[in-house]
Structure 1
Amino acid sequence: MENANIKILLVDDEPDILEIVGYNLKNEGYQIFTAKNGIEAVESAKKNTPHLIILDIMMPEMDGIEACEKIRATKGLENVLITFFTARGEDYSQVAGFNVGADDYITKPIKPKVLVSKIKALLRRVKHVQLETANSEKINVGGIIIDREEYVIIKNGEKLSLPRKEFELFSLLASKPGKVFKRDDILDKVWGNEVVVGGRTIDVHIRKLREKIGEKNFKTVKGVGYKFVINED
């Protein structure tokens, strides 16, 4: 099966969740590993190097927020996809999740078939970002080519020359489609210590990218930051 090489770590302290969700994902052909708390999750992630981690927040011994933070700090796991899976839908929980490096957020309860569809969509993000070689200067993101050697974007065969900061901002957001990049991280990675700028600077650059690349490709996550979305229309 085409999914046989994809490893998913499912973490939840409820045995029924592990059994039901695990069963449905196994039926799709995925390799499934399970853990019932954050400590086991970190150990399993280090051992198995999953492509995706579905992580509950409220768990004994170590909660999902702390586990996510430890996983993100582990060499080789910095870019693994992590989605929180929890019954807590409050905004502060989502912000806390994004702050420690989560890529997405799924709220319980959810029908197994809907969950499987969401997981498939998450895993497509990995497939959309393809490096031509390990040291390639070109990255193809959903049909949009980022050429770092020539410092241009190629969309629908047309070369777009962007100002340096717009190019760097787009490259950052497109490096992980669907991932929410916090405003502070954007300022640090794109502007660094060059000048003191405010959050409004990011807004202006995002507006320009929307005009040049596509309105639907850039989403605002209120109170957190921005993410790049592949337009599949």
Structure 2
Amino acid sequence: MGYVLIVEDEPDILELVRYNLEKEGFSVRGVSSGEAALNQVRKAPPDLIVLDLMLPGVNGWEVCRELKQDVLYRSIPVVMLTARTEDSDVVAGLEVGADDYVTKPFNPKVLMARLRAALRRAGDPGEDRHREERISIHGITIDITRHQVTCKAEAGENHTTAISLSATEFSILEFLSRNPGWVFSRSRIIDAIRGEDYPVTERSVDVQILGLRRKLGTCGQLIETVRGVGYRLKGKD
């Protein structure tokens, strides 16, 4: 079934999650600190990480950020499991690249469903072979396999600038770029990049779009707001 790393400093919760994963046929390793998590990932990269936020030493946000910035580990899905439920916490999790966000206390069956969904979204290799590896539109180039984005400051210029995006910002830009001219609601955008019933507010999507526009500079104006509906990437001329 796969190998899951649980990062949790509460022994009872760690054992509960371990029990349910092993019952589903997963191989499981548990650690109780952020430092131990990073060391374990480097020794034996897991297929999925269940990550608590409030950890001794290096916290869960920092662990996720470091992994998602490393080309060797950024494709590993990370599901945050935490007692923190504020919108700001969900936004912070999205910004560092978490693939899902489950709050405590949790229903074990719901958690297992979320973990299986995260593994599915991590990518079916057969499906990936049929996806475009590079998208170019309006001077923006998105290299899917390398997780890189470049854009031209002005139309017709040869000089391009590399853009550093979070995992969520990259996914939103990819989704909009595959559907230029189409308007999508905030909930539809989240469904497309995270799956249905992802626990996120409309404000969280607005924050992601704001950050994406800022990082894209002059290319950011290509992401248009359709008042009362949502967002779209300017259509092809």
Q: Shorter-chain-normalised TM-score: which range?
A: 0.5 to 0.7
Q: 1:51 to 1:177 in 2, by over 3 A?
A: farther
Q: 1:18: Cα distance to partner?
A: 1.3
1:12-33: CA deviations, max 9, x gaps? 1001111111111011111212
- Tell me, yes or no, if the aligned pair for 2:135 and 2:177 is still in contact at 8 Å: no
Q: 1:9: Cα distance to partner?
A: 1.1
Task: Say which SS state the counterpart of residue 13 (structure 1) adopts.
Answer: coil
**1:183 pairs with one of 187, 209, 213:** 209
**1:24 pairs with one of 1, 20, 26:** 20
- Tell me, yes or no, if the aligned pair for 1:169 and 1:186 is still in contact at 8 Å: no
Task: Say which SS state the counterpart of residue 8 (structure 1) adopts.
Answer: strand
Q: 1:54: Cα distance to partner?
A: 0.9
Identity rate of aligned residues, in percent? 32
Q: Distance in 1 between matches of 2:222 and 2:193?
A: 24
Task: Say which SS state the counterpart of residue 30 (structure 2) adopts.
Answer: strand
Gaps of 5+ in 2: 138-172, 180-188, 196-203
Q: Residue 110 in 1 paired to residue 106 in 2?
A: yes
Task: Say which SS state the counterpart of residue 4 (structure 2) adopts.
Answer: strand
Q: Distance in 1 between matches of 2:213 and 2:135?
A: 23
Q: Residue 197 in 1 paired to residue 214 in 2?
A: no
The 5 Å alignment of 1:27-46 reads 27-46=23-42
AA aligned opposite 2:209: R
1:121-164: CA deviations, max 9, x gaps? 221212457222xxxxx31xxxxxx586999xxxxxxxxxxxxx
Q: 4+ residue stretches of structure 1 with deviation over 3 A? A: 146-151, 170-174, 184-189, 192-196, 202-209
AA aligned opposite 2:14: L
Q: Distance in 2 between matches of 1:168 and 1:13?
A: 36
Q: 1:57 to 1:26 in 2, by over 3 A?
A: same
Q: Distance in 2 between matches of 1:168 and 1:116?
A: 27
Gaps of 5+ in 1: 133-137, 140-145, 152-165, 210-233
Q: 1:45 to 1:208 in 2, by over 3 A?
A: same
Q: Distance in 2 between matches of 1:196 and 1:208?
A: 11
Q: Distance in 2 between matches of 1:117 and 1:80?
A: 17
2:94: which partner in 1? Answer: 98
1:56: which partner in 2? Answer: 52
1:169: which partner in 2? Answer: 176
Q: 1:203 to 1:51 in 2, by over 3 A?
A: farther
TM-score (norm 1): 0.63
1:125: which partner in 2? Answer: 121
Q: 1:203 to 1:119 in 2, by over 3 A?
A: farther
> Once superposed, what is the RMSD of the aligned Cα atoms?
3.5
AA aligned opposite 1:25: L
Q: 1:74: Cα distance to partner?
A: 2.5
- Tell me, yes or no, if the aligned pair for 2:78 and 2:99 is still in contact at 8 Å: yes
**1:73 pairs with one of 69, 75, 99:** 69
